[in-house]
Structure 1
Amino acid sequence: MHGLVVVDRDQKVLRDSIIWCDSRAVELGEKAFDAIGNEKSLSHLLNSPGNFTASKLAWVKQNEPKIYNQIDKIMLPGDFIAMKLTGEITTSIPALSEGIFWDFKKDEISKDVMDYYKLDQKLIPEIRPLFAEHGYLKEEIAKLLGLKEGIPVAYKAGDQPNNALSLNVLQPGEVAATAGTSGVIYGVSDQLTYDPQSRVNTFAHVTYSPTQKHTGVLLCINGTGSMYRWAKHNFAPHLSYAELNHFAAQAPIGSKGLKVLPFGNGAERMLNNKYTGAQLLGIDLNIHNQSDIFRAVQEGIAFSFRYGLDIMRENGMQPKVIRAGKANLFLSDLFTQTFVDVTGVPVELYENNGSVGAALGAGIGAGIFKDSADAFSQHQLLKYVAPKNALAYEPIYQNWKAQLIKAL
């Protein structure tokens, strides 16, 4: 969502993409937040420019002026893929909001952000509706892919709005979650609300329009699946993830006091852009084994979701159920149950993921489906998971939270 790709007039990439979790521009973003004004930035849903795309572009301007002066257009990574397919460079309001270029109150590119960073508005691609034709598959690309020339690119979205679409999370009050490399809770709202500390962020949802201002309130945890992958590769590289999940389930609730802070993948928005590093706390060499470590990792990730969800609750998001695709960490029955027990919110699991969302969105945009209801006519619930160990987990979570606060 928040990456940066820059190309010249010949559509040649000028530098490596700066990916979504790259923290190099955090300090620039914080200065912009203060200069524009905290209240103004937040109330216009500029989210504190932080380490989002606009700040990354400002970093290039400041540190790589020769490259900046060659830029013809800037893009999110998804826009770049569409450019390679079609030869056209376009964007949308949701994409601009993901880059912190969009002023929600004025429904236009943010003059405050562009003026503060002294960015040239000509760098912004043509804005088209999200569900619209953003170009057609070029002949040479069609041959390369074994597809038909002229297929429309009719939808492109950030991974989290797209994941929400895949789960039919389109109306205010509906909430989606994912736990891949990063962990996200994403709730749809029709209110231009914001967190006073910008720990959770608001973007234009896929259903956003000037007359229907559906926004997506996004909590992001950088290190969820990446934390689990690290533990696997360092403690049990010979085990599959399915075996790892079974292994973790052998340990008791609370992992015999072992705690994991899974924040080792860059500055965390929900921790006020602080970086604690991942931490394993309370290891007892006499009682802890691999099962305890893997359960503690899953519990620590679930606890981080609870910590973030409580921030969302402070800001008016009160989910009664959370929808998730049966993928990544939600493939683990242990993690799913722990997530539900710790947050106190039931989870509905579906056989969906972001690729399904992209296909459905493309079908809606190309007119293959009459509307979103038609697109989700085959949407079937796989499993409903209700809390069953909430009371047991509450004191364990509060102890974990106290450790996190110490680390901050």
Structure 2
Amino acid sequence: MYIGIDLGTSSVKLLLVNSKGEIVKSVVKEYSLQYPKENWMEQNPEDWEKSTFDGLKELIKGYENDIKAISFSGQMHGMVVLDKEDKVIRPAILWCDQRTSSQCETLNSRYGKKIIELTGNKALTGFTAPKLLWLKENESENFKKINKIMLPKDYITFKLSGDYSTDVSDASGMLLLNVEKREWATELLKELELSELQLPKLHESFEVVGELSEKAKKELGINNKVKIIAGGGDQAVGAVGVGVVKEGVLSVALGTSGVVFANSSKYFADEEARLHSFCHANGGYHQMGVMLSAAASLKWWVEDINHSKDYDIFLEKEAMSSQIDKNLFFLPYLMGERTPHNDPNAKGTLTGLNIQHRRGDITRCIVEGITFALRDSLELIKSMGISTDIVRVSGGGSKSEFWKQMIADIFNLRVDTVNSTEGPAYGAAILAMVGDGLYKDVNAACEALIKVVDTKYPNENNRKIYDEKYLKFKRLYPALKEI
């Protein structure tokens, strides 16, 4: 048996998978978010630890001595800092936290385009390096206590194995890694007055980093040797989970955030760093565009505004029955925006309303706005000459037939649904299999395990309407920004 652990923003998901790649059992454990100030978001790493261990105990019951390897997927960029006693110094500052605008300006202005040469990216509020600079400037005593810096999933790896380790896909989002060379960017470390000794050891996502510790084995009731495999950032591992390991196949992840992900065998970076250039979990590279409020925008509308959880009524009935309105627009910037605007102060808007509009019209418009914002990333990927033929969709939004068809129409690409519906957790299980030697590499594992089960093609009439509407959508942000 193999275990894939996906440490998300709101919950940890654990999968037990057999050697044929079949899911035997899954467990989800939730934990809370903290909002100390507007646009600040934190979590206690101890909550991740408790939820993960509780989930593991439930997951492996009856299979305690059948586990061969464990691997991970994790929410990216979160700053976890430990002192010399390996105790958490302060709550983790998360990927969606927006407090580091001035620190990003400092890093980007000081380095200019050199920061892109050093890391393949520029400083963004979500990344880890600006968070460390914020800590240095605002909580100097906590900064001085730092003995180890980790990413969220790496804290769980440490608690299971005792090893200080990370992988290159997750480390790519720290703004501390030379992505092209797959090594720490020492010049930036010096800028932050940090050393490599404070950082975990780098691995590829499919490499063994250690073994389940005796302490963890005792707590979990396991007696045999269990390999701990590095794992990766949630988007790279999620792409593995739906088989996006070949060029031409894109991943669109419809989670809290929205991601358009393109695999590449070679490294290259956008000159303006509008896309993220990161290491992939299969040993290659990828380019990625990220919007901050994808499913979060839909959740806001359905649950917070309409006090419902029946997404089928909103999407598959009301929105599907609504007609495309060429003049009704939604900008999904409810938590600022990353790609392509890099504006933590961007705001959401609903414009073009009239008295005849009904709830289904607004729901359709919201889903359109999210998908148009995802297309922004697609257009950047295409402009870099990256092949774009097929989309594979994952995340909560992938359950909606209505939304998948809309992606096909707005992207003008074929949208495949695969037999793997567990995304990052399943990708982590695949990495565990590869790390244990069950498959020669990640690509071979994906080829063997992941199959297409459904395909949607663009509706030509809708495509033409959406092409026109997208051009208007692109003009809204710069126009409203001036107000």
Q: TM-score, normalised by structure 1?
A: 0.92
Residue 77 (1) aligns with residue 149 (2): no
Structure 1 equivalent of residue 364 of structure 2: 295
Deviation at 1:30, TM superposition (A): 2.7
**1:193 aligned partner:** 268
Aligned partner of 2:239 in structure 1 is 164
**Aligned-partner residue type, residue 393 of structure 2:** A
Cα offset for 1:8?
Answer: 1.3
Cα distance, 1:334 vs structure 2:
1.6
Q: Distance in 2 between matches of 1:202 and 1:84?
A: 29
Structure 1 gap ranges (5+)? 209-213
For the residue of structure 2 that corresponds to 1:177, the secondary structure is strand
Counterparts in 2 of 1:24 and 1:235: CA distance versus 1, 3 Å? closer
Structure number with the bigger relative contact order (C-alpha 8 A, sep ≥ 6) is: 2
How far is the alpha carbon of 1:341 from its aligned partner? 0.8
Are the aligned partners of 2:129 and 2:175 in contact in 1 as well (CA < 8 Å)? yes
Distance 1:318 1:370, change over 3 A: closer
> SS in structure 2 opposite 1:382?
strand
Distance (whole Å) between structure 2 residues aligned to residue 337 and residue 222 of structure 1: 22
| Maintained 8 Å contact 2:416/2:453 | yes
**Contact 1:170/1:188, CA 8 A, preserved across alignment:** yes
Name the SS for the 1:88 alignment partner.
Answer: coil
- Per-residue CA shift, 1:33-80, capped at 9, x if unaligned? 222231x22233441122211121121112111111111100110101
Pairwise mapping of residues 23-102 of structure 1 onto structure 2 (< 5 A)? 23-38=98-113, 40-51=114-125, 52-102=127-177
Question: Distance in 2 between the 1:31 and 1:137 partners?
Answer: 41
The TM-score, its normalising length taken from structure 2, stands at 0.78
Change (3 A) 1:122 1:370: closer
The change in CA–CA distance for 1:72 and 1:291 in structure 2 (over 3 A counts) is same
Tell whether 2:343 aligns with 1:273: yes
Alignment root-mean-square deviation, CA: 1.9
Using the TM superposition, give the Cα deviation of residue 342 of structure 1 relative to its aligned residue in structure 2, in angstroms.
1.0
Q: Which amino acid aligns with 2:463?
A: A
Counterpart residue type for residue 340 of structure 1: A
Contact (CA 8 Å) 1:139, 1:149: kept in 2 or not? no
- Answer with 273-282 or 68-77: which moved more: 273-282
Aligned partner (choices 297, 315, 324) of residue 253 of structure 1: 324
> 1:394 pairs with 445, 460, 467, which one?
467
Tell me the equivalent position of 2:71.
none
Q: Which digits, 9 at most, give the CA deviation of each residue in 1:113-139, with x for residues without a partner?
A: 112222233211122333222222234
For 1:212-227, what aligned pairs fall within 5 Å after superposition? Answer: 214-227=284-297
1:282 aligned onto 2:352: yes
Q: Distance in 1 between matches of 2:456 and 2:215?
A: 48
Residue 375 (structure 1) shift: 5.1
Further displaced range: 178-187 or 124-133: 124-133
157, 182, 203: which is aligned to 2:278? 203
Partner SS state of residue 277, structure 2 = strand
Distance 1:231 1:72 in 2: 43
What is the 5 A alignment of 1:218-367?
Answer: 218-246=288-316, 247-254=318-325, 257-284=327-354, 286-325=355-394, 327-352=395-420, 353-367=423-437
- Greater alpha carbon shift after TM alignment, 356-365 vs 117-126: 117-126
Distance of 2:253 and 2:226 partners within structure 1 = 30
Are residues 47 and 374 of structure 1, via their aligned partners in 2, closer, same or farther at CA, if it must alter by over 3 Å?
Answer: closer
Distance in 1, matches of 2:480 and 2:225, equals 54
State the distance in 2 between where 1:360 and 1:386 align: 29
The change in CA–CA distance for 1:279 and 1:143 in structure 2 (over 3 A counts) is farther
Preserved contact between residue 26 and residue 273 of structure 1 (Cα < 8 Å): no
Determine if contact 1:268/1:275 at 8 Å carries over to the other structure.
no
Return the alpha-carbon distance in structure 1 between the equivalents of residues 337 and 178 of structure 2.
Answer: 25
Q: Is the 8 A contact 2:332 2:366 kept in 1?
A: yes
Q: Distance in 1 between matches of 2:238 and 2:200?
A: 24
Distance 2:294 2:439 in 1: 35
Partner amino acid, structure 2, of 1:328: G
Stretches of structure 2 lacking an aligned partner (at least 5 in a row)? 1-75
The structure-2 alpha-carbon separation of the partners of 1:346 and 1:298, relative to structure 1 and needing over 3 Å to count, comes to same
Q: What is the rounded CA distance, in whole Å, between the counterparts of 1:46 and 1:59 in structure 2?
A: 22
Paired residue secondary structure (2:252): strand
Whether the 8 Å CA contact 1:337–1:387 is kept in 2: the answer is yes
Q: How much does 1:228 deviate?
A: 0.3
Name 2:7's counterpart in structure 1.
none
- Aligned residue for 1:57, secondary structure, equals helix
State the secondary structure of the residue aligned to 1:317: coil
Q: How many residues align?
A: 399
**Maintained 8 Å contact 1:21/1:266:** no
Give the partner amino acid of 1:253.
Answer: I
SS in 1 for 2:81: strand
